[in-house]
């Protein structure tokens, strides 16, 4: 979903959700305050809409590292993966004879908050915690 002014609502929300595991590394001591503000904006704009996407774009644009993350995620339409998650897929290429990224094996879904994320390889273990709500031990189910 995108608006008339070019905001990719789905991509912006994906970037906002999947930046969370990287915040400490990206922002250092500013990470917790940023996470609090990000969680507030996400909670106030549920369900996703254009106004919320604009607020998230402004928030993610405040720091070079989070702005770069947003740009990377938006460039991976329609999967919206961070660069760290897609590097090995693009190196591996697509099905035999076809260049390009390999689509995810499945989409995992958190049983607590409903957040979804791609599982690029069948050998990838299910994370210990949800990427978004950080709830440990929540059963994840493939949604594809």
Specify which residues 142 forms β-bridges with: 108
- The better pLDDT of the pair 91, 125 is held by 125
83-100 residues labelled b (16+ CB within 10 A) or e (exposed):
eebbeebeeeeeeeeeee
Q: Alpha-carbon distance 84 to 35, whole Å?
A: 19
Mean pLDDT of 18-31: 90
**pTM across the whole model:** 0.60
Among the residue ranges 68-72, 98-102, 112-116, 137-141, the one predicted with the least confidence is 98-102
Interval 98-108 mean pLDDT: 57
- Residue 83's pLDDT is 76
Overall average pLDDT of the 114-133 stretch: 70
Q: Tell me the mean pLDDT in the region 43-61.
A: 93
């Amino acid at each position: 979903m995108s608006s008339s002014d070019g905001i990719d609502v789905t991509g912006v929300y994906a970037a906002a959700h999947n930046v969370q595991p990287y915040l400490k590394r990206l922002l250092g001591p500013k990470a917790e305050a940023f996470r609090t503000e990000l969680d507030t904006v996400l909670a106030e704009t549920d369900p996703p809409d254009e106004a919320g996407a604009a607020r998230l774009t402004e928030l993610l644009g405040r720091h070079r590292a989070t702005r770069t993350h947003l740009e990377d995620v938006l460039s991976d339409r329609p999967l919206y993966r961070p660069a760290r998650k897609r590097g090995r897929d693009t190196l591996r290429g697509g099905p035999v004879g076809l260049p390009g990224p390999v689509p995810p094996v499945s989409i995992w879904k958190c049983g607590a908050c409903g957040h979804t994320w791609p599982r690029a390889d069948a050998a990838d273990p299910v994370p210990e915690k949800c990427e978004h709500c950080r709830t440990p031990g929540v059963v994840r189910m493939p949604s594809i």
